[in-house]
Amino acid sequence: MRKMLLAALSRVLQGPAAAAAGRTGAVSEASRVMVASRNYADFANEATFEIKKCDLHRLEEGPSTTAVMTREEGLHYYKTMQTIRRMELKSDQLYKQKIIRGFCHLYDGQEACCVGLEVAIKPTDHVITAYRAHGFTYARGVPVREILAELTGRKGGCVKGKGGSMHMYTKNFYGGNGIVGAQVPLGAGIALACKYFGKNEVCLTLYGDGAANQGQIFETYNMAALWKLPCIFICENNRYGMGTSVERAAASTDYYKRGDFIPGLRVDGMDVLCVREAAKFAAEYCRAGKGPILMELQTYRYHGHSMSDPGISYRTREEIQEVRSKSDPITLLKDRMVNNNLASIEELKEIDVAVRKEIEEAAQFATTDPEPPLEELGNHIYFNEPPFEVRGPNQWIRYKSVS
């Protein structure tokens, strides 16, 4: 509607000479200025927000308590979070239709974590996380259609249909790991490689509140601190390890202090700006060579642990509703942007519509793309070996393994 108005206005202002240009879509200088001044008149370019102070462990100073967000940044965060939200809801739908099978752990409610982290680091930094990985996969640059196709096990998926929900990878994103806590020592290893290659990169190593009680995590804390690895340990505390609440699983629920000799921050994980500022602070800390740092993001998941968990046997519907109404990350961002004149409700609605369309198309692709061919079943077991045969369920069914 506004676009039509602007186009009409620009034609009127330019006069008949530029009318032809206007019709073909080219906008003259005059009208461009007109459009820009309408933008500036309508919206602020940026705004400053107060964010929650982080609790600190072994740190003198923490991240700043104010954050500046520009209009473009706000729209980008909004679009990314909304895409992840709709993608997860679409996955829920596809799972219930049995188009996605196996295991599916959904990330809705926690979008602020992956978006806040991604915008605070560089694309050349590294990320590794556990099985609730769809949000990170998207944030790290995999298009929605490849994520959904991977969930449905088609060859258009980011891992060619062989990985599934828990095993999605892309450049500088090491998955997607099924075994709880197993990815944390890997993350420290990646951090060591970063330090070794000297490219000033960091590694974000994520795990959950359930995994925080695994022994290998403490082994990793020790190694990372001893060798001053540029590793940012991030505990996404969504209050429940599958069905067990944190109070019933952990002697200390101050997950940001669990690193003991590693400094820590506790961050409001439902506020994308809070996560962003904390992650920037942590990345700077690591890049300065001071060693590892630990961040606890306090967040919440709306779905159950996985699609086979209704999510209401260990928590009340009221609790979920309360978090949804008071701390939803997308609503929080939307309110901030609208109240500070960074965007209008209509504009954000347009983004919603565009996102829905993108997800629909991606789901269409994911449902119609063919499965990987059976000949590829045995591939990628080894590297660079001459092709050999892998035995199938009996010794007369052979799959050729090409590496």
Partner 1 sequence: MAAAGLALRGALASGAAVAVRRRGGLWSCLSPLPAAPRRSAAHFAFQPDPAPSAYGQTQKMNLFQSITSALDNALAKDPTAVIFGEDVAFGGVFRCTVGLRDKYGKDRVFNTPLCEQGIVGFGIGVAVAGATAIAEIQFADYIFPAFDQIVNEAAKYRYRSGDLFNCGNLTIRAPWGCVGHGALYHSQSPEAFFAHCPGIKIVIPRSPLQAKGLLLSCIEDKNPCIFFEPKILYRAAVEQVPVEPYNIPLSQAEVLQTGSDVTLVAWGTQVHVIKEVAAMAQEKLGVSCEVIDLRTILPWDTETVCKVLLNGSTAFCCVGHSSQFRIISKLAEGTLCPLIQVTDEYVE
Query: Contact residues for partner 1 (CB under 8 A)?
Result: 101-103, 164, 167, 178-181, 210-211, 213-216, 241-244, 248-250, 313-314, 374, 391-397
Residue closer to partner 1, measured from CB, 309 or 352: 309
Residue closer to partner 1, measured from CB, 245 or 344: 245
User: Minimum distance between the CB of residue 99 and partner 1, rounded to whole angstroms?
Assistant: 13
Residue closer to partner 1, measured from CB, 289 or 392: 392
Rounded Cα distance between 372 and 143, Å, is: 19
CA distances (Å), origin 187, targets 71, 120, 224, 374: 34, 18, 10, 33
Rounded Cα distance between 65 and 360, Å, is: 39
User: Minimum distance between the CB of residue 225 and partner 1, rounded to whole angstroms?
Assistant: 21
Helix ranges (DSSP H) in 43-180: 71-96, 111-120, 134-139, 144-151
Residue closer to partner 1, measured from CB, 360 or 371: 371
Is residue 246 within 8 Å of 299, Cβ to Cβ? no
User: Minimum distance between the CB of residue 249 and partner 1, rounded to whole angstroms?
Assistant: 5
**Maximum distance among all alpha carbons in the chain?**
80
Closest CA to 83 of 153, 141, 158, 124: 141
Residue closer to partner 1, measured from CB, 245 or 340: 245
Residue closer to partner 1, measured from CB, 41 or 374: 374
In degrees, to the nearest 5, what angle opens at C-alpha 30 toward C-alphas 27 and 36? Answer: 80
Question: What are the DSSP calls for 100-114, one per residue?
Answer: S-S-----TT-HHHH
Rounded Cα distance between 81 and 84, Å, is: 5
Amino acid at the residue 63: P
Residue closer to partner 1, measured from CB, 384 or 394: 394
At 33, give phi and psi (nearest 5°). -60, -40
